[in-house]
Amino acid sequence: MTLPILHHCEGARSFRCLWAAEEARFALNLKMWAFPPRWFAKEFKDVNPLGTIPAWEENGHLLTESAAICQRIAAGTSLELRPDEPDYLPYLNWLHRSDATLTFPLTIVLRYTRLEPEERRLPQAVDDYKAFFMGRAKAIETELEDGRDWLAGGRFTIADICVGYAVHLASSFGYDAELGPLTQSWYQRLKDRPGFKSARQRERDNRPDAPSAPL
């Protein structure tokens, strides 16, 4: 049997997929690249013409959306919510919100704090998109206000993984300390999970030889 291949860069959105795979004990081949591949590994375009991470190869198909790959990994496990479960609709919304609404503003921050050369950095863009993220992240705090531990369905799911990655990325800029207390506790619960820890260890153990830009 040919295992699916997950193309991953340490700390990138593909971490969602690696983390989901560790939680689900889903067997895959991990192929790690230096970030961003467009600088350090132009041949990555032969795998994913978009040049973006993650890429997932399975049975002649290529998936390039981290939340969709998480859905594929979670299929049939307790990490997904089924359409007949009461929280299915908010669960779907969190999955899509995780990247389009929450991660997107952080990528602008990343670009204009770390990736662009000094002379192209834009403090105004960083401040504005930080504010975008902080405003949007209030939705996490609101969701947790009823005392729930996880975002949807009364259990840990890939909604927590996908949204959790956005908060994890925000934490790399120190923004987590400015999030609400419920969000901070939820993020701590996520980091305490054995699946999170083993995914972090697995990416460290498989670092590519080439250098990476800071993520």
Q: Which of 20, 21, 47, 53 contacts ligand GSH by CB under 6 A? A: 53
Q: Binding residues for ligand GSH, how many (CB under 6 A)?
A: 12
Q: CB neighbours (10 Å) of residue 30? A: 17
Contact (CB, 8 A) for 112 and 122: yes
Nearer to ligand GSH, 62 or 182 (CB): 62
Stretch that binds ligand GSH, among 23-31, 49-57, 186-194, 200-208 (CB under 6 A): 49-57
Site membership for ligand GSH, residue 65 (CB under 6 A) = yes
Site membership for ligand GSH, residue 38 (CB under 6 A) = yes
Q: Which of 51, 90, 180, 208 contacts ligand GSH by CB under 6 A? A: 51
Closest Cα to residue 175, out of 81, 118, 109?
109
Q: Which of 22, 99, 143, 160 contacts ligand GSH by CB under 6 A? A: 99
Site membership for ligand GSH, residue 54 (CB under 6 A) = yes
Place of tokens 């999030």: 179
What Å distances lie between residue 38 and 18, 41, 48, 75, CA to CA?
Answer: 21, 6, 11, 31
What is the separation of C-alpha 132 from the centre of its chain, rounded to a whole number of angstroms?
18
Q: Which of 47, 52, 79, 151 contacts ligand GSH by CB under 6 A? A: 52
Smallest gap from Cβ 10 to ligand GSH, in A, equals 11
User: How is residue 98 annotated by DSSP?
Assistant: I
DSSP per residue, 99-161: IIIIIHHHHHHHIIIIIS-GGG--HHHHHHHHHHHHHHHHHHHHHHTTS-SSSSTTS--HHHH
Site membership for ligand GSH, residue 105 (CB under 6 A) = no
Smallest gap from Cβ 196 to ligand GSH, in A, equals 17
Q: Can you give the binding site for ligand GSH, defined by CB under 6 A?
A: 12-13, 36, 38, 51-54, 65-67, 99
